[in-house]
Structures are given as C-alpha cells and as structure tokens.
Amino acid sequence: MIMKKITSELQRSGYLFIAIQMLVMSILPRTIVAQNDVPPNPFITHMFTADPSAHVWQDGRLYLYPSHDIAPPRGADLMDQYHVFSTDDMTHWTDHGEILRSSDVSWGRPEGGFMWAPDCAYKDGVYYFYFPHPSGTSWNTTWKIGVATSTSPASGFTVQGYIPNLESHIDPCVFIDDDGQAYFYYGGGGTCKGGKLKSNMMEIDGEMKAMEGLEDFHEATWVHKRNGIYYLSHSDNNDDGIKHNRMRYATSTSPLGPWTARGVYMDPTDSYTNHGSIVEYKGQWYSFYHNSALSGNDWLRSVCVDKLFYNEDGTIQKVTPTKGHGTPYGNNAWPIPGIIQAEDFDNGGQIIAYSDSDSSNNGGKYRPDEFVDIENCGEGGFNVGWISGGEWLEYTVNVSIAGTYVLEIRVASANATGSSVRVEFGTEDVTGKMVVPNTNGWQSYQTISKEVTLPQGTHIMRLLMGDGAFNINHLNIKAKEIVLATEEDGNVFKVYPNPVADKITIAFEEDIKRSTSLKLYDSSGVLIKKQKLVARETEISIDGLKPGLYMLHVRVKDKTIIRKVMVQ
C-alpha cells in the first residue's frame, strides 16, 4: 500500500526518475546502523519533507509537523499537502497521512501551492495548526498565517481562518509558557517579530514587536525553554556558493527578549536551506532539521534528527549531523598519499555513499546500477560527469601519517560559471571552496589544488559539489612535507611543560609569520584543537583532555613540525 501511495503521488507530479529513486530506496535492503540511538538520517524516505516542527503531546508520543516538497520542484512554489508523523521510540515513525492542502483554504491563493513551514500548539483540548499561505496570486506580498483546529493531533483539522492584522511574513512558531500564556513568532527576509496570543489562540494580544539582539537572522524562528532560560533558534544568511544556511540561537530571560546571540549550533547541511526545531523527549534533547541527501536537489528535502546537548552554563553544544556510511569500493580504504579515482566512491547507494540528483547512471559505464553518472574519460579510464550543485560523493580513505598534503583534483567543464567543489574529512572542511575553471571542454582537464592538513588513520572523505556543471577524473593527494621534530627543529620553538596537566606553552625563538598555526590530534588521529599563533609565546589550555599521548602539529616556515605531548 505504501508503494502504491508513493507511486500515485509521484506519477501525478510527472517526476518519474525521482519516483523510481524513492521506490528503489523503499524496496532494496539497506544495511544502516542507527547512530547515537536516533534513526538513520534522513529518517522519512517515502516522501520529501522539510521544516520539521516537533512537539510532545499528552499521549506521550513525539509528533512532527513538517512541510511537504512536491516533485518536480519549482523552487518552493509547489509545496503542499501537509502530513503528520509520530513516534514513541525515536526509531519507528508512523505517517498519519495528509491533514491539510491548499485547496482546503477558502481564502487562499487561487493557484494553490506555497504551503510552507508550519507549527502546531495544544491548549484546552484543541490542537491549533498554524501554516503560512498567500491569499493572492502575488504570493510574496499576500502571506497570511492560517489556523486549522482539531481535537486530534494528527487528523480532522479544519481551517478556521487566519490571524488578522499581521504583516506579510512566514514561518509561524507558537510557544506556550509554563503559566499557559501563548506567544506567537514569525518573520523572514531578516525580520523576526513576536507577541502574545489571546486565549482564543487566533488573535494577537497587543502589538507584535521586533526581536532585538539576534545575529544575522534569516528565517525559521523556533522558541523553547530550559531551566528558566528562553532559547530562540533560527537560520542565518550564510552562503558561500557551496554551503548555505547555518542554524543560530540566542537566549533571554523573557520570551520576547531582548535576546543575547550565542552563535551557531549547526553548520550547513547539503541543502540550500535549513529550518529546525529543538525538543526534549524522554529526558533527551533533540535537534530536528532537513537536508537534501535523498534527492540531491535543494528543493526536494528530507527531515533528519540528532541528539542535542547543553554545556553546564546553558549554551548549546554544536550539533553534528549524522548519517550512515558505506563500505570501501574494492573492500579496502584508499591509501593517502595516493590517487583516488572519482568513480571509486564507496558502496552503499543513495543517501549513504553519495547523493545524486537523478536515479540513473547517465554515462552507463563502470558501475551502471549506481545513480552516479560515469562515462569514458578522455585521459583514460572513467570520470564522474553530469555533476550539479548539492551532490556529494564519499570515499573511505586511510592517511598513513598525519601531516601536510597537497590535494589535487582533475576537473573539466565546457561552461563552468561559479562551479566549485569542497573536500571534507569527517566533519572538518579541509579545503574550503575550490573554484572549478572553465576548461573549454568536458574532456579538457585541468588540475585544481589546495594544501591541506590531514590526521592519521581511517576517515570518510566527502566531495561536496557547488553550483555549476563539471566532470571529475581523479584526486591525487600527495605528501608535501611531514617533519617529525629534529635536533635542528628543536631550536625553532619549545613546548613546556611536557608532560602537562592543564596548560602548555609554545615559545618561539624568533618572531613568527602570520601563517603560523597549530593543530592538536589525539593518538587515533582525531583533531582536538586548532588555532592560529600570533605571538612568540602562546599559552594553550588542555583542560578536559583525557590523559594520554597527543600529537602537536605546528605549521611554521613552510613545513609542519610534529611534537609528542603527554597529558597527565
């Protein structure tokens, strides 16, 4: 029945390759291990969902109210047909079906669509579903915040109207405080406003006011409370051509501010947007968000969840998005230094080993059953082609020794304009944005390169594609200069005390260049700390590090000097 439902929905959209892709994902067995007691991300794969609003209701279940991306996408214009999902264990999720669509909204835009990020609230036996929708064809100037009600959290919703006397904004959020007072927030395009709701939950009590103190606000307001502190989270305006919205937050002792900006709690996903919610369930806090891993398309998104943790002072620890990973193609991790062919990405398929924007190998070569497009390469062998922004590939690699490397990528493009690629090791972006030039031909290859510092050991290397179309033949990662401390290097700088308990000092014999920096790795090659060095003598805190052996990498005078540091 699920397959029939998926097929009918996507056939109506005419987006056949996405239909095939989603059916494949639901039919084929996949070996994915849940990480940190949360489901593999994205955890809803039979339809496209975004902007997750999470709530725990009186029946003890966690309910999710996301928006619904419709294929084929036309930006976010066609979003419609809200569904509700719930769980009682964070692993098994129930789709309760559709609760509302644009054609149910009598005052809504005649052409439909534009059913964007919603929220839901509960008061006195009634569930209030808040949704943004334009009332006119000129959608960007006619936004209303509609309200539908039901006595059930996942069915029976009836549109009651919209909140009157509001400006044309989106992204409603309703927070009910401990005293029962409900607060309403909305915004977008850099504007965030909040105010009290009347007891009928459908009118503003007084004036809406600007939320002061937020940093780089874009949209996606969410408010929660913990230990007497109010938290307002939102997306920002970050955009470097490859990575986009980050999630930020601010705190206050009042639900309407003023707010104190606290920084970024989630870095960009592979989607052009992000929009999330934060909720506590069964004693654990969770961060909900979305990515584009299932589709490889910025406007066909999928909701995800990961655990969220607080520091003792109430600040939020950065959330690292999790996902399953594949296994090495050819069974063994690719050695570094060495050449890695682009077509030798990991086994595991869509979402796990790669994200591709269509469900066929357009070149038909080498690995024809994969979605990644592979063709014969003009330099011999094969290349990955038909690359577009938001796609990514993963490779399991093994770095023989920590140090500085030159990472080279052979690329070709007949019309690159703003094309780019980025390389990550684990969760660390090691290259930044690497611009792909126009090489005047799909098989006319040039080398782009970046100096990188890599930790020792086995890692997942991810190639994340920016905008533009290009081909990749291979990567060549070559050792530049890896130098263990010698007698001569001992005169460059001193490290003391060693062994160390709480703070270590790095003291240089001479003035240092602005490019001097350090990275500290544990014995397994995991990066623990990094920072630039600007003074001849710098004190580094190592509070909180477990006792054991660490490797200190200091980049100085065009080489990396490695010192062993023992933490007591």
Residue 551 identity (one-letter amino acid) = M
Tell me the C-alpha to C-alpha distance, in Å, between residue 343 and each of 71, 197, 328, 354, 474: 28, 56, 12, 11, 8
Beta carbons within 10 angstroms of residue 97's beta carbon: 13
Instruction: Kindly list the catalytic residues.
Output: 51, 219
Residue 120 identity (one-letter amino acid) = C
Give the mean pLDDT of 332-346: 95
Q: Is the dihedral of CA 252, 253, 254, 258 positive or negative?
A: negative
Give the mean pLDDT of 61-79: 95
The rounded percent of the chain whose pLDDT value lies above 70 is 91
Instruction: Tell me if the pTM is above 0.85.
Output: no
Structure tokens at 234: 């939102």
Q: Is the dihedral of CA 167, 273, 351, 356 positive or negative?
A: positive
Range list for CATH 2.60.120.260 in the chain: 334-479
**Topology of domain 485-567, CATH:** Immunoglobulin-like (2.60.40)
pLDDT band at 8 (very low <50, low <70, confident <90, very high): very low
Reply yes or no on whether the pLDDT at 514 is more than 80.
no
Amino acid 13: pLDDT = 36
Reply yes or no on whether the pLDDT at 485 is more than 90.
no
Give per-residue pLDDT as tens, 199-231. Answer: 999 999 999 999 999 999 999 999 999 999 999
Range list for CATH 2.115.10.20 in the chain: 36-210+270-308
Reply yes or no on whether the pLDDT at 6 is more than 50.
no
Q: Which residues contact 156 (CB under 8 A, 6 or more apart)?
A: 99, 150
pLDDT band at 562 (very low <50, low <70, confident <90, very high): confident
Could you give phi then psi for residue 20, rounded to 5 degrees? -60, -45
Q: Which residues contact 491 (CB under 8 A, 6 or more apart)?
A: 509
Give the mean pLDDT of 519-545: 84
The mean pLDDT value of the chain amounts to 89
Reply yes or no on whether the pLDDT at 489 is more than 70.
no
Reply yes or no on whether the pLDDT at 1 is more than 90.
no
Residue 218 · residue 207 · CB < 8 Å: no
Residue 447 · residue 412 · CB < 8 Å: no
Under CATH, domain 36-210+270-308 is a member of which superfamily?
A: Glycosyl hydrolase domain; family 43 (2.115.10.20)
Reply yes or no on whether the pLDDT at 443 is more than 50.
yes
Buried residues in 326-357 as b, exposed as e (16+ CB within 10 A) = bebbeeebbebbebbbbbbbbbbbbbbbbbbb
Range list for CATH 2.60.40.3080 in the chain: 485-567
Q: Which residues contact 218 (CB under 8 A, 6 or more apart)?
A: 188, 189, 190, 234, 235, 236, 237, 245
| CATH-assigned architecture of domain 334-479 | Sandwich (2.60)
Reply yes or no on whether the pLDDT at 481 is more than 50.
yes
Give the mean pLDDT of 376-398: 94
DSSP state of 267: -
Pairing of strands 338-341, 471-484: antiparallel
The rounded percent of the chain whose pLDDT value lies above 90 is 69
Say if residue 153 is preceded by a cis peptide, omega within 30 of 0.
no
Tell me the C-alpha to C-alpha distance, in Å, between residue 185 and each of 169, 182, 188, 210, 411: 10, 10, 11, 10, 46
Structure tokens at 311: 């520091």
As a residue count, the chain comes to 568
